[in-house]
Amino acid sequence: MKSVAFTGTETIGGIVASLPRASKLMKAYKIDYCCGGNRPLSAVLHDHRIDQWDFLLQLNQIREEASASAGQYADWRPAASSELIDHIVDTHHAYLLNELPLLSEFVTKLLRVHRQAHPELAKLHTLFHRLKMELEQHLITEEVMVFPLIRKAEQTGSGEDIAKAAATIDELEADHSAVGGLLREIRELTADYTLPADACRTYALTYQMFEEMEADIFEHVHKENNVLFPRLARK
């Protein structure tokens, strides 16, 4: 059965949850669908001064293409919480644990080599390492404290276990907001990762790694804020 067209009344997080490949369109327009996922699309488009008619045409075209063929993005809503947690840890946590140390080396090298010509790299170095610390602590909190609570609540169905797991959501969502704020600062500082005229190969690779990391974090946070966490809130 053909899916119903989007009208703008839907929340942006709900749109990406039902149509995961819409995340690319959101990202192209710099719409935060993970931390700001509970806002109606029409309000977000108004705030960003984006033409709603044009955006909905593009969004519904993506919906039609998704209906016609399987895409690269999975719809995690039908999956069990434990399955989604395994995916988050194995995919997104593993990615960050691998990439953060590498990106730290590159950002530090940029500062050492290019600071005289580009003094803004000192702030980039500071912002990135704040981001790295936030993410590393966040991953530990999820893996050691929060995810085990969610798994237990899923297994037992106990109201007490569900309440304990749900009580952790506010802290994690606050972490997500902090990470989102740092990513926005980094993007502003780098003018959307625009390379300077004298950029070397390391410069280009560093900015590419930043963009890839941002995209992965958006997917990571979206799956938690808009798919996993609401399950507990509804109990």
Q: What is the pLDDT of residues 4-51, one digit of tens each?
A: 678 888 898 888 877 777 878 888 888 888 777 788 999 999 999 998
Same domain for 45 and 133, yes or no, is: no
What local confidence, expressed as pLDDT, does residue 174 receive? 85
Q: What is the pLDDT of residues 168-205, one digit of tens each?
A: 888 888 888 899 999 999 999 999 999 999 988 888 88
Q: Grade residue 71 by pLDDT with cuts at 50, 70 and 90.
A: very low
pTM: 0.70
Distance CA 19, CA 23 (A): 8
Same domain for 55 and 19, yes or no, is: yes
Q: Tell me what the mean pLDDT of segment 70-84 comes to.
A: 75
Q: Reply yes or no on whether the pLDDT at 67 is more than 70.
A: no
Same domain for 112 and 217, yes or no, is: yes
- Residue 182 dihedral angles phi and psi, to the nearest 5°: -65, -40
* 8 A C-beta contact, residue 12 and residue 36: yes
Same domain for 112 and 153, yes or no, is: yes
- The answer to whether position 73 is within a domain reads no
Same domain for 114 and 201, yes or no, is: yes
Q: Count how many residues are written for the chain.
A: 235
Rounded alpha-carbon distances, angstroms, from residue 20 to 53, 103, 115, 136, 202: 21, 27, 40, 26, 32
Q: Reply yes or no on whether the pLDDT at 1 is more than 50.
A: no
* Secondary-structure breakdown of the chain: helix, strand, coil percentages, each rounded to the nearest 5: 75, 0, 25
Same domain for 64 and 87, yes or no, is: no
Sequence-ordered list of residues with C-beta below 8 angstroms from that of 175, at least 6 positions apart, any chain: 134, 137, 138, 141
Better pLDDT: 95 or 124: 124
In Å, how far from its chain's centre is CA 174? 13
Mean residue pLDDT across the chain: 86
In Å, how far from its chain's centre is CA 76? 15
Distance CA 82, CA 154 (A): 8
Same domain for 168 and 141, yes or no, is: yes
- The answer to whether position 2 is within a domain reads no
Same domain for 26 and 91, yes or no, is: no
The DSSP code for 21 is G
Same domain for 151 and 222, yes or no, is: yes
- Report the percent of the chain where pLDDT is more than 90: 39
What local confidence, expressed as pLDDT, does residue 173 receive? 85
Same domain for 199 and 140, yes or no, is: yes
- The answer to whether position 103 is within a domain reads yes
What local confidence, expressed as pLDDT, does residue 201 receive? 82
- The answer to whether position 74 is within a domain reads no
Same domain for 45 and 85, yes or no, is: no
- The answer to whether position 1 is within a domain reads no
Q: Reply yes or no on whether the pLDDT at 70 is more than 70.
A: no
Number of domains in the chain: 2
Distance CA 235, CA 232 (A): 5
Residue 25 is part of which domain span? 12-68
What local confidence, expressed as pLDDT, does residue 181 receive? 93
CA angle 69, 74, 80 (to 5 degrees): 135
Distance CA 126, CA 233 (A): 35
Q: Tell me what the mean pLDDT of segment 64-75 comes to.
A: 59
Better pLDDT: 216 or 66: 216
- Residue 80 dihedral angles phi and psi, to the nearest 5°: -65, 155
Same domain for 35 and 110, yes or no, is: no
Q: Reply yes or no on whether the pLDDT at 124 is more than 50.
A: yes
Distance CA 217, CA 67 (A): 26
**Encoding tokens for residue 111?**
């500062």
Q: Grade residue 66 by pLDDT with cuts at 50, 70 and 90.
A: low
- The answer to whether position 128 is within a domain reads yes
